[in-house]
Amino acid sequence: MLVDDEEGVRRFVGLSLEELGYKVETAENGQVALELFDEFRPDVVFTDIKMPVMDGIELLKNIKKRSPDTEVIMITGHGDMDLAIESLKYDASDFITKPINNDVLEFSLDRAKERLTMKLQLKEYTENLENLVEEKTQRIVQLERQNAASHVVAGLSNALSDAAQSVETGGGLFNELPCLVSIHSQYLEIISHNTLFEERLGNMVGANSFDIYSDRDSGGNACPVQQTFATGKGQRSKETFIGKNGEEIPVTVYTAPIPGNDGDVELVLDISVDMTELQRLKDELLTTQYKYQRLFDEAPCYITVQNPDLSIAEANRRFVEDFGEAAGKPCFAYYKHRDEQCSNCLIEKTFKDGQSRQRETVVTTLAGEQKNMLVQSAPIHDASGTIVQAMEMSTDITEIRRLQDHLTSLGIMLGSMSHGVKGMLTSLDGGIYRLESGLQKKDSVRVEAATKTLKSMIGRVKKMVLDILYYAKSRELETDAVDATQFLLDTADIAAAKADAACVEFVRDIPEGLGTLHVDTAAMSAALINFLENGVDASDRKKDGKVELSAQRKGTDLVITIEDNGMGMDPETRDKIFTLFFSSKGKRGTGIGLFISNQTIEQHGGTIEVDSTPAQGSTFVITLPEKPGQVAA
């Protein structure tokens, strides 16, 4: 379904979708789309964000209430980026910008089809497994009931004499029982048996009682019949009979004494239940469980089964390999590295209403690798329909996101920065006005203040433009051999101005003799300044705010440490800081600075370690090899 208030967009994009082979219905606003939705039931909905009557955000919410599995892709202009990003909170699958490029449209549709296919496969696997387990469980219960019924017979000692007579005459109840029934004398001799016994073991009248067992060849082995004569009490045991064709038959044997007139045991009744079918079903169930365990472990995603208390009941092999053995432990501790439950937990919501949900997040593996994940939850019901557990499946979409970032990030970034640029231009106009006014009035204080404002705004504009250019066009490093000590001192001087303006103490511990460093000075200086300025921003709310830059040589590596005593970060924020467009500064940040800084250090072969505690501060340890072609230790 295509929803847009512009007829030209509906006609142009609708033709493109039909050429791709899709059945398409269009609507001019959200209200018309909802009226059409129940009848048409589309798998994918494209909707503009800004429309009369009902906008795209409201339409998205209504569609997700009616059909959570429908993929909704938002269409937006550059000025609507805040709304587009907000739509992701309400489970929008994606968004594309106007004018709509056919390649981007087809790519977005392919991703939506992949998500739909994955949901259907997971649902099918879950339903098949539940149905098979239910079927096998019912069969086992049926056989166990039959087994228990035979056990009850062992207690009916008062009726056993009549039963013996029925067996001997070849008629009566015991010839109808689905059990192997035989009568044994004091001399451990079989004197009679029912029809089923003869069909399975042959005519054994006159044979020794122990001859029917596979592991007893004399009376000294004390078969259940002999034990009954010896103790005067009924016996119950698992045994193996020998069939008339030599095959082994697993049985459960129940024996009962039949007393004579004098009260002594005269005969023993043996009722044995053939367990062959039960064993076959158990083996088949084990085979089925093994099959689905393999499917569970080999699925190309991370899967956990969680209990109502959010502890992990089971995790597949891929999860254990990348996040560790987590059975019995809370999901948020192993998957999100948090000390407390996530505020928007999908599993908790699924337990409450039984609905499947999905969202995207960023996680960190045991190896420190960050991955973009599409997380989906689904309920697991017992035979009565009660939700007993929930399944969470996480698909690695890092490469997809990386490709999408390269296709659309520049447009998104420019749109999201528009308000910031407008504000800076306004500040520049104000600074120029104050400068001109100060010059006309020969007011040195006003001139100095205006100059300071202009320098600050020009610096911010320069940094934003450089970030855009750096990200928009990848480039090779242009390295020079520089004195590491002097390079760091020059970089520190640039950052010191911002620290002074924010009244944050700036400490430098840069010793002489750090040797030579081969770096792209412009790129590396910008990266380090980004870390230093972030430290200043994090510390400027404290009276004793402090940022420290230190460096030392470890072998051939240069280790640079940037430490602040600012607001710090929780583990979830720490894991996301190098993700494109993620910012903890709200509207003051673009979410691109640390992403680019991280790329710069990786291009030089370096590494970054981050340690942070909320309200106590953060420490960034950057390790650079002597030359970019090397790898830092």
Is the distance from CB of 100 to CB of 107 less than 8 angstroms? no
Backbone φ and ψ of 74, nearest 5°: -90, 140
Task: Count Cβ atoms within 10 A of the Cβ of residue 333 and give its class: 0-12 exposed, 13-18 middle, 19 or more buried.
Answer: middle
Any bridge partners for residue 516, and if so which? Answer: 483
d(CA 631, CA 168): 90
Q: What is the DSSP letter of 47?
A: E
Cis peptide preceding 308, ω within 30 of 0? no
Tokens of 413: 């970034």
What are the start-end ranges of the H helices in 442-520?
Answer: 444-472, 484-501
Mean pLDDT by 10 residues, the chain (633 residues): 89 87 91 90 90 89 89 79 77 83 84 84 76 75 57 44 50 70 90 89 90 77 88 90 90 90 87 81 76 77 89 87 83 75 86 90 83 90 89 86 63 52 64 80 82 75 64 66 91 85 90 91 84 87 88 93 91 78 54 75 90 91 81 55
CA-based torsion, 123, 125, 131, 134: positive or negative: negative
Q: How many CB atoms lie within 10 A of CB 587?
A: 11
Q: What is the DSSP letter of 330?
A: B
CA quadruple 131, 132, 133, 138: dihedral, nearest 10: 90
d(CA 66, CA 383): 26
CA-based torsion, 221, 225, 230, 236: positive or negative: positive
Give pLDDT, residue 630.
Answer: 58
Spatial CA neighbour of 76 closest among 361, 408, 374: 408
Spatial CA neighbour of 517 closest among 630, 619, 608: 630
Q: What residues contact 489, with CB distance under 8 A and at least 6 apart? A: 508, 510
The beta-strand segments (E) located in 220-369 are: 236-242, 248-259, 265-274, 302-306, 312-315, 357-364
Beta sheet of 617-624, edge-to-edge order: 505-509, 546-554, 557-564, 617-624, 607-613
Residue by residue, DSSP assigns 574-592 as HHHTTSTT--SSGGG--S-
Cα 243 from chain centroid?
Answer: 53
Q: What is the DSSP letter of 182?
A: E
3-state secondary structure of 621: strand
Residue 55 one-letter amino acid: D
Cα 487 from chain centroid?
Answer: 44
CA quadruple 34, 36, 41, 44: dihedral, nearest 10: -70
Q: How many CB atoms lie within 10 A of CB 220?
A: 8
Q: How many CB atoms lie within 10 A of CB 184?
A: 26
d(CA 273, CA 252): 5
What are the C-alpha distances in Å from 364 to residues 147, 299, 316, 357, 393? Answer: 52, 20, 17, 22, 16
What are the C-alpha distances in Å from 208 to residues 117, 215, 217? Answer: 65, 14, 9
Backbone φ and ψ of 57, nearest 5°: -65, -45
Cα angle vertex 499, ends 494, 503, to 5°?
155
Q: What is the DSSP letter of 627?
A: S
Any bridge partners for residue 564, and if so which? Answer: 547, 618
d(CA 224, CA 272): 11
Q: What residues contact 357, with CB distance under 8 A and at least 6 apart? A: 68, 91, 346, 349, 350, 376, 377
Residue 556 one-letter amino acid: T
Using DSSP bridges, classify how beta strands 44-48 and 71-76 pair: parallel, antiparallel or unpaired.
Answer: parallel
Task: Count Cβ atoms within 10 A of the Cβ of residue 341 and give its class: 0-12 exposed, 13-18 middle, 19 or more buried.
Answer: middle
Tokens of 311: 């502890």
Spatial CA neighbour of 557 closest among 495, 610, 604, 507: 604
What are the C-alpha distances in Å from 512 to residues 178, 509, 522, 558, 614? Answer: 95, 10, 22, 13, 34
Spatial CA neighbour of 527 closest among 554, 502, 560: 560
What are the C-alpha distances in Å from 559 to residues 152, 370, 525? Answer: 79, 23, 15
Is the distance from CB of 69 to CB of 48 less than 8 angstroms? no
Is the distance from CB of 309 to CB of 331 less than 8 angstroms? no
d(CA 475, CA 102): 28
Any bridge partners for residue 551, and if so which? Answer: 560
